[in-house]
Structure 1
Amino acid sequence: MDKSKGTAVHDKKYEKFMTWLHENNFPESKLALANFTNTGRGMMATSDIEAGEVIVSVPRKFLITNDSLTKIYGSKHALGPHQLLALHLVLVSRDKQSWWKPYMDLLPIHFNTMPVKYAKVLVGHLPTALKEQVLQQKENIEQDYLNCIKYLNTRNETMTREEYEWAWLCVNTRCIHMTIMDGTAKGGSIALAPMLDFLNHTSEAKIESGFNVRNQCFEIKTLTPYNKGEQVYINYGPHDNLAILKEYGFVLSQNSYNFVLLDKEVWDLYSEVESKRGYEIKKQILEGAGYAGDYSIKADEISFRLMAALRLLALPGTTEPGFDRRVMDWHDVVMGQTDLISTDNERKALIMLQDICKKVSAQAKNEIEILSRITETHPEAEFHPFALYFLRQIWNESNDIIEQTLVYLSDKLSRL
């Protein structure tokens, strides 16, 4: 966790925001908005904070929830919580006299470090799995926009795609997930919470959070102590950098949850090695055992699922005598009744993984090389410099994991 000291933010918008909180009896905290060298804006401890202290407490009237918006828009609509919160942000952002204006003025102006906003030249260099997820996210935004337009038509109002995309991403990057506040609350459990949403993420932070029914506030308690001047963090959950980049538009410099997904490579190898019939039979075996897909490697771990798929692939063809017996041996390994099918099978499976890793490593190195020259090869392309920096980091991290796995595989094969 970065322990560097921050520099307090002093600007009119932030001062108006703090005045707004104070005038509306927002509980005092030991936090102040500050700039930090490595993470940009975040919350700084204005005095020492002990483990077990509540670092921020957001009263119910400051929480923008599906329940609170139902009182404004009614319940006779087909909008989900995310759609409704985003629509509300668009409409409130237009109202210069809104009670929420001090909060609205501190929301991000753009989300250009998020892959969903990348220029085409960068989208083309996203890892395959991330690219598919980003395209799905783009479709989700479009569908939510169209649903909101249908609702606005009933009110003779409209909005642009750009307005809604900005609001949708505000909700996506800043919302909290909370337990239902009371028995009468309806709808989803996401909410926007001023002040709390300025806290940055690290996987090292330990917190407890929830709605305190006694004081009607959503509270976050830190289990990690902080010294005056240090950045105070929360923990969004056990996410790898690909997930963090897609959902929040940044990456962590050190992330123990990082992994490389090899689903495409494994299924491609199945197609190369097996006949069409053999492919279908072995895929059905994997599906039946619950081992189809989610094949990953980490810096210090090869997933059991991945090895299960490769051990099955390493079994002799489905038409050869004794295949059913060998599948039973495979099931014994999957069920943990034995460690290996055979030394020969294990060697073949490890060699297959070694070949996959070599191909993926070559791809990663190629992507790193292309991205290092992309401003020269595409001088006309416009993208945020951090977008390129984060994307290069993603590929470097993937290659590091693959290289460590190759060292492990080489050592393991030499001992078989």
Structure 2
Amino acid sequence: MVDRIDPLDITNIKALSTWMKTQNWRNIAKLEPCRFKDSGRGMRTRKGLEAGQLLVQIPRLLLMTAGGFRSSKEWSWLVDKNLSCHDALVLYLLVEKNKRDSSFFHAYIKTLPEEFSMPTDLGNEMICMLPTFIAMKFQDKIKSLQDSFKKVARGYKNICIKELGFCEFKWAYYVVNTRAVHITGSSGKFNADSSDCMALVPFLDLLNHTHDTSCISGFNPDTNCYEIETLSKTPKCSEVFINYGPHDNLSLFVEYGFLIPRNPNNCLPLEMTDFISACNEYDVKLSNLCLQTISLHNLMKNLGLFTDGPSWSVKALLKVLSCDWSSLMRIEDIIYRDFENQGLTEKTLLNCILDKKKGEVCDSLSAIAKDKSCLVTNCIVSFLEECLSIIEFSYAN
């Protein structure tokens, strides 16, 4: 379903298109802005698209990277050379925004959201209501945000001769975090180790993400453009999507502030401490040989519950934990060949972990559901409900 898009958005996007055309950009896929009921502001095509067609082709000159900014005679001596590519791009965006109409990227900056609704803005009281596996992700992101602010603020003060406010910084940080693309697979100035490894790409960020489309993206040195080629058909007048990659909803929410309904990549992460706690509760002894076996086979990696049940690592780890000494001596046969036969101890340990996770999620739902006053808390409730579905499915699998 298509709704009318805000007139100001239309004006800003038209100004963006006009500016980009002066730099030899063409709207090759005949894309136009629309507001969709499920995905919000996005782009639809005025013509049907076939697999193999280019969606966008953005000239190098229009890519906003930190490389030229850091190496320029005007700014290089003021910019900390140890800034990460991400933080340098945040600083560059802030400096350009401070120039207002005189910025080369002014038309692009005008199309960016004025504010973001992100989980990192939640107060400590709300974060304390969350299950540990979610709260830890939020806290890690908040720390990353605060660390970046200290570094970027120093450079901003040197260049703009004024203090940088935290709210202003967060806006630029969220723009880069939610919209920048990684430049990979290219040559020359663009490579993953350089200061040009990330870019803000005008027009590209008007496209929304979905997991069920396929595309190829990257900088093409032959055309000197950033390009996206669709591998999926799109009917005329339908929304055009791109794919950020196989992200679970917790990662999408923490990094980008949105969820995807029925995301097949959903995962409820588990930690080794969850398994140790279950072992302690049921008096399952963890011998040195058991711990060595777990380490040798890297069974502490990729621990999680997915939409189709526990991961292979979870099942393998449970099998190792339930083995006696003699069984551990032939563990390769057990975890790689005799994998499907689940013993009573394995089921007991798994159910113990699931029961605790279910309790955590239900307690959080009860506390948070009382306050569904903003988009972020609504998203958290939706994610917790998805977690419950994953847990219930894992009991039987």
Q: Which runs of structure 2 are paired with 1:295-310 in the superposition (5 Å)? A: 295-310=303-318
Using a 3 Å threshold, how does the CA distance of structure 1 residues 301 and 211 change in structure 2: closer, same or farther?
same
Query: Match of 1:74?
Result: 76
**1:201 touches 1:236 (CA, 8 Å); kept in 2?**
yes
- Please say if 1:266 is aligned against 2:275: yes
Shift of the 231–398 alpha-carbon distance from structure 1 to 2, 3 Å rule, reads same
Distance 1:293 1:273 in 2: 23
Contact 2:50 2:233 in 1 (8 A): yes
- Tell whether the 8 Å contact from 1:180 to 1:189 is kept in structure 2 after alignment: no
Q: Residue 100 and residue 395 in structure 1: after superposition, are their counterparts in 2 closer, same or farther (change >3 A)?
A: same
Partner SS state of residue 365, structure 1: helix
Instruction: Name the counterpart of 1:147.
Output: 151
Residue pairs, 1:202-241, within 5 angstroms: 202-241=210-249
Structure 2 partner of 1:373: 370
Identify which of 158, 170, 175 aligns with 1:170: 175
Give 1:90's aligned residue: 94
Cα distance change of structure 1 residues 362 and 135 upon mapping to structure 2, 3 Å threshold: closer
Distance 2:217 2:63 in 1: 14
Give the C-alpha shift of residue 157 in structure 1: 4.5
d(CA) in 2 for partners of 1:35, 1:153: 38
What CA deviation, in whole Å up to 9, does each residue of 1:54-92 have, x standing for no partner? 111111011012323234333872212111110111111
Identity over aligned pairs, percent: 25
Structure 1 SS opposite 2:13? helix
Deviation per residue, 1:87-113 (Å, 9 max, x gap): 11111111122121111111122222x
* Local SS of the residue matching 2:104: coil
The aligned length equals 384
- Distance (whole Å) between structure 2 residues aligned to residue 363 and residue 187 of structure 1: 42
1:188 and 1:331 map into 2 onto residues whose CA distance is 45
Q: Secondary structure at the match of 1:294?
A: coil
Residue 289 (1) aligns with residue 286 (2): no
Query: Using the alignment, how far apart are the partners of 2:286 and 2:305 within structure 1?
Result: 26
Where 2:174 maps in the other structure, the secondary structure is: helix
Q: Are the structure 2 counterparts of residues 34 and 279 from structure 1 closer, same or farther at C-alpha, using a change threshold of 3 Å?
A: farther
Looking at structure 2, the residues matched to 195 and 175 of structure 1 have their Cα atoms a distance apart, in angstroms, of: 12
C-alpha contact 1:130 1:246 (8 A) present in aligned 2: no
Question: Normalization by structure 2: what TM-score?
Answer: 0.88
Q: Root-mean-square deviation (CA), in Å?
A: 2.4
CA distance change for structure 1 residues 251 and 55 in 2, over 3 Å: closer, same or farther? same
Structure 2, gaps ≥5 residues long: none
> Given the superposition, is the C-alpha separation of residues 289 and 180 from structure 1 closer, same or farther in structure 2, using an over 3 Å criterion?
closer
Residue number among 196, 202, 219 corresponding to 1:194 in the alignment: 202
Q: Deviations over 1:283-313 (max 9, x none)?
A: 3431232112532222323222112222222
Q: Structure 1 residues 46-55 or 200-209, which shifts more?
A: 46-55
Partners of 1:77 and 1:158 in 2: CA distance: 20
The residue aligned with 2:13 is 14
SS in 1 for 2:100: coil
Q: Are the aligned partners of 2:23 and 2:62 in contact in 1 as well (CA < 8 Å)?
A: no
Query: Would you say 1:118 and 2:117 are equivalent positions?
Result: no
Letter of the 1:347 partner, please give it.
Answer: L
Q: Does residue 99 in structure 1 map to residue 104 in structure 2?
A: yes
SS at match of 1:24: coil
What CA distance in whole angstroms lies between the structure 1 residues aligned with 2:287 and 2:4? 59
Q: Which of the pair has more CA radius of gyration?
A: 1
SS in 2 for 1:95: helix
Equivalent residue for 1:394? 383
Counterpart secondary structure, 1:65: coil
Specify the SS of the correspondent of 1:229: coil
1:320 alignment partner in structure 2: none
Equivalent-residue separation in structure 1 for 2:186 and 2:315 (angstroms): 44
Cα displacement string for residues 246-271 of structure 1 (whole angstroms, at most 9, x for unaligned residues): 11100011200112223242232134
Q: Secondary structure at the match of 1:51?
A: coil
- TM-superposed CA distance for 1:366, in Å, is 2.9
| CA–CA distance in structure 1, aligned partners of residues 243 and 135 of structure 2 | 25
Using the size of structure 1 for normalisation, the TM-score is 0.85
Task: Measure, in 1, the Cα distance between the counterparts of 2:261 and 2:339.
Answer: 36
Unaligned runs of 5+ in 1: 317-322, 376-382, 410-416
Q: How far has the Cα of 1:153 moved from its partner?
A: 5.2
1:357 matched to 2:354? The reply is: yes
* Aligned partner letter, 2:39: T
Structure 2 counterparts to residues 271-350 of structure 1, below 5 A: 271-274=280-283, 278=286, 282-316=290-324, 323=325, 325-334=326-335, 336-339=336-339, 346-350=343-347
Instruction: Give the deviation of 1:171 after TM superposition.
Output: 0.4
In structure 2, C-alpha distance between the alignment counterparts of 1:221 and 1:6, rounded to whole Å: 27
Secondary structure, counterpart of 1:56 in structure 2: strand
